[in-house]
Amino acid sequence: MSPRLRLMLSILALAGVFVIGAVGYLLIESDRDLTFAQAAYMTAITVSTVGYTEVWELSDGGRLWTMGIIVFGIATVSIAFTSLIALFVSGELRSLRETKRMETKLKAMSDHIIVCGYGRMGQLVTTQLAERSVPCVVIELDRDREDDLRKAGLPFLIADATEEETMVLAGLMEARAVIALLPRDTDNVFVTLTAHTLRRDLFIVARAEQPSTQNKLQRAGATRVICPQVIGATKIANVITRPNVVDFVEMANKGVELEMDEVVLTERSPLCGVALKDSGIRERTGAIVVAIKRREGETLFNPVPDAKLMADDTLVLIGPADVSGKLGAFQPPA
């Protein structure tokens, strides 16, 4: 039973004892013209066992009703107070307040990444996103990982990512993308299907433990499917057959400030309509444009110097760290 439900039931139990006790006195002692306040006060001193004298001289029926309140009312109140004390002592009430604050924080987020699953891969992905200043929200079903999420300072929900309500609460309608990293492929298919149903335009990345699941994830709506087994096998083969290429790609992880990045040119970009050779990208940033992806889907690999840059083009670059930041910080030469 959730802490919120236990708290509500405890409050309802306390209120129920006082209301039922007071109404019983009013009905049994109807000839005495009692007020509800008097009846409620009589109930209170009875269940609290404070030992005050009777508010009025009870009839035989009133005494029997008082005995019933003592037997059942005190037991109910004791259980309710025990439950309330347990909430405070165990810290569950604090956790409930923090959950409410987290829900309020999530409502204010936008253009973020929803990461479903905080296992080993989920932790690595969120760390990479944090290093790139990309906001993210984690959905994790295992409550044992709640402390790790708090220590990481990540907004999170302890809930089932396959449920539509959970996705909406995580800000799916304002999110930039969803990453499905749950341990089982079937769960990732459900997460992908749920997210794609709610938002057809959403960018969805899903992990496939088995290569045979890749097609299912794509049919469910995944934009990209990542299979660690396939990636691992490909890298091992490349290490054997093309070791120098692998070393070059891993330079960034060995202390060389080198990275691959992509930049989308907006309609207001000063680079629109400028030929690649006249853009000054290489001179100003030290980066090389290795590909241009047009809005229509055509991709120009190793584009010629005369290729013109257009609005909504995606430039794939390789060069020093923070290529995209440097590219956005300068105007092309006149």
227-280, pLDDT tens digit by residue? 988 888 888 998 898 887 777 666 655 545 567 788 888 888 888 989 998 888
pLDDT tens sequence across 181-228: 999 999 999 999 999 999 999 999 999 998 889 999 999 999 999 998
pLDDT band with cut points at 50, 70 and 90 for residue 331: very low
pLDDT tens sequence across 77-99: 777 777 777 666 655 555 666 66
- Among 51-55, 191-195, 204-208, 306-310, which is the least confidently predicted range? 51-55
Cα distance between residue 143 and residue 174, in whole Å: 26
The answer to whether the CB of 160 falls within 8 A of the CB of 135 is no
- The verdict on 148 and 219 lying in the same domain is yes
Cα distance between residue 181 and residue 2, in whole Å: 26
Of residues 215 and 100, more confidence is placed in 215
What average pLDDT is seen over the chain? 84
- The verdict on 117 and 77 lying in the same domain is no
Query: Would residue 216 count as lying in a domain?
Result: yes
3-state secondary structure (DSSP) of residue 292: strand
Instruction: Please report, for the domain that includes residue 45, its CATH number.
Output: 1.10.287.70
Query: Would residue 242 count as lying in a domain?
Result: no
Angle, helix 3-28 to helix 74-90, in steps of 10 degrees: 160
Residue 49, phi-psi category: left (phi > 0), alpha (psi -120 to 50), beta (remainder): left
Cα distance between residue 226 and residue 86, in whole Å: 45
Query: Would residue 245 count as lying in a domain?
Result: no
- The verdict on 270 and 317 lying in the same domain is yes
pLDDT at 112: 94
Cα distance between residue 164 and residue 266, in whole Å: 33
Helix (H) or strand (E) holding 319: strand 314-319
pLDDT at 88: 63
Q: How many residues does the chain have?
A: 334
Check pLDDT > 60 for residue 60: yes
- The verdict on 227 and 277 lying in the same domain is no
What's the number of domains the chain is made of? 3
pLDDT at 117: 95
Residue 83, token pair as written in the block: 């439950």
Query: Would residue 332 count as lying in a domain?
Result: no
The answer to whether the CB of 204 falls within 8 A of the CB of 177 is yes
Range of the domain at 287: 257-327
Give the domain-ending residue among 171, 197, 231: 231
- The verdict on 262 and 319 lying in the same domain is yes
Give the domain-ending residue among 90, 118, 150: 90
- The verdict on 77 and 142 lying in the same domain is no
Check pLDDT > 80 for residue 169: yes
pLDDT at 167: 93
3-state secondary structure (DSSP) of residue 115: strand
Query: Would residue 246 count as lying in a domain?
Result: no
